[in-house]
Amino acid sequence: MNFDPAKAVQHLEQFGEFGDVNPSITDSSTFTFLGAKTMIDTFHGQTHGCFLYSRHWNPTNKYLADAMAAMEGTPAGWVTASGMAAITNAIMQLCNAGDHLVSSVTTYGGTFAFLKNYLPKFNIDVTFVDPTNLEEIENAIKPNTKVIYTETFSNPLLQISDIPSLAKIANKHGVKLMVDNTFSPMIVSPYKLGAHIVVYSMTKFINGKNDCVAGAICADEEFINSLIDVNSGTSMLLGPVLDPLRSSSILKNLNTLHVRMKYHGQNAMYLSGKLQELGLKISYPGLKSHPGHELLNSIMNKQFGYGGMMAIDIEDDEKANSLMEMMQVRGVGYLAVSLGYFKTLFSNSGKSTSSEVPEDVQRKMGLSGGLIRFSVGLDNDIENTYEIIKGCLIDLKII
């Protein structure tokens, strides 16, 4: 696949109305019209380039949405106030009462809770499947299935979804393939591989600063326009609008994403390899021992590395807690949820970001109580970071 998401972003010509190199921030909720008919036409979606109300479109938000669409290779995009807003709005736009969707069981805990606990309120049924088992996924499709939902890198087990094969299954059955690409921006381009809708928590790697919460939906123009239709659009009517001031700062950070992803990946590759040499059970897609390594090689944009996410499974939750506490005290990073920060973050997934998933389901999917998920930071001396972790492991008699 000959697609360069970084180049696609860099080739955008986005500048302010007075020639300022950063696009202007439109700090306004409503917009004036020079003619009454233009306002009427805009309400009916019959004008282009006119702004009505910032719950619908805001110029600053559109700059960011256009940049996200360029990065994904989609015709259009829309930005939301959180990653969960992106996921839930896209699903609710696709599904009505009585519909069904197929979802990876190893998915972010908030997503799992929405699918398992919230959608039944609307009589929408969900079948959870192993995202790596294509036969199981296809067998789960029903006549009323509307969506296959997966994550490119599953959270927190880092399984790799075979997006081209999933797209074939989706197209065969006339359903939409929706992919959460939060863990792997630029590394994988799901839309270019056949996915119909790509969603993000921009809170994570896209923004990279952990100073805001935001999301994005990338798809074709028909779907994005349906989301913001004034009469029936889920996003227009539920109103998960991103503050344009935040859009402006995220857009600036997006332009350094390619550099950051490469360095996150470089550090994670070094750390995972050295820890594996110590005999630890490591999950990192860049390692040849990872079950999805070859699949990822076949679908990835290789110049951006294998990502900043890795997991260590020390099988015992008490040891995991002790290790995380010691790593924080000794300066490895922070015991915190989320990811994509310039400092290393780590947490016990089963008790934090996947805590919404019942423990019996966690065990069935292969998530042990001792799994620690790492978002490896931009450490300038990753060798020193490794030595500190190694010292913690030795002092706690884990190795």
Q: Transcribe 286-319 into DSSP letters.
A: TSTTSTTHHHHHHHB-GGG-S-SEEEEE-S-HHH
Instruction: Give the DSSP H/E element, type plus range, for residue 348.
Output: strand 344-348
pLDDT-based confidence at residue 48 (cuts at 50, 70, 90) = confident
Local structure of 155: helix, strand or coil: coil
The closest of 377, 312, 378, 364 to 338, measured between CA atoms, is 377
Residues 6 or more apart whose Cβ sits within 8 Å of residue 111: 84, 87, 103, 149, 180
The closest of 209, 136, 137, 215 to 170, measured between CA atoms, is 137
Structure token digits, residue 179: 């992919």
The closest of 274, 269, 227 to 393, measured between CA atoms, is 274
For 127-136, write each residue's pLDDT tens digit. Answer: 999 999 999 9
For 324-363, write each residue's pLDDT tens digit. Answer: 999 999 999 999 999 999 999 999 976 766 667 777 777 7
Looking at per-residue pLDDT, the higher value among 356 and 280 belongs to 280
Backbone angles phi, psi at 82, to 5 degrees: -165, 165
Options 3.40.50.10860, 3.30.910.20, 3.40.640.10, 3.30.390.10; CATH of 5-254? 3.40.640.10
Q: What is the pLDDT of residue 212?
A: 96
Instruction: Say if residue 1's pLDDT is above 70.
Output: no
The CATH fold assigned to 257-395 is: Aspartate Aminotransferase, domain 1 (3.90.1150)
The radius of gyration of the chain from alpha carbons, rounded to an integer in Å, stands at 21
Backbone angles phi, psi at 389, to 5 degrees: -60, -45
Domain locations in the chain?
5-254, 257-395
Specify which residues 176 forms β-bridges with. 147
**Cα–Cα distances in angstroms (integers) from residue 300 to residues 68, 93, 315, in the given order:** 18, 29, 30
Local structure of 200: helix, strand or coil: strand
**Contact predicate 310/376, CB 8 Å:** yes
Q: What is the pLDDT of residue 167?
A: 98
**Cα–Cα distances in angstroms (integers) from residue 362 to residues 107, 158, 322, 338, in the given order:** 11, 14, 21, 19
Scored b (16 or more CB within 10 A) or e, 303-327 reads ebbbbbbbbbbbeebebbebbbebb
Share of the chain above pLDDT 90, in %: 87
DSSP 49: S
**Contact predicate 90/146, CB 8 Å:** no
The pLDDT mean for the chain works out to: 95
pTM: 0.95
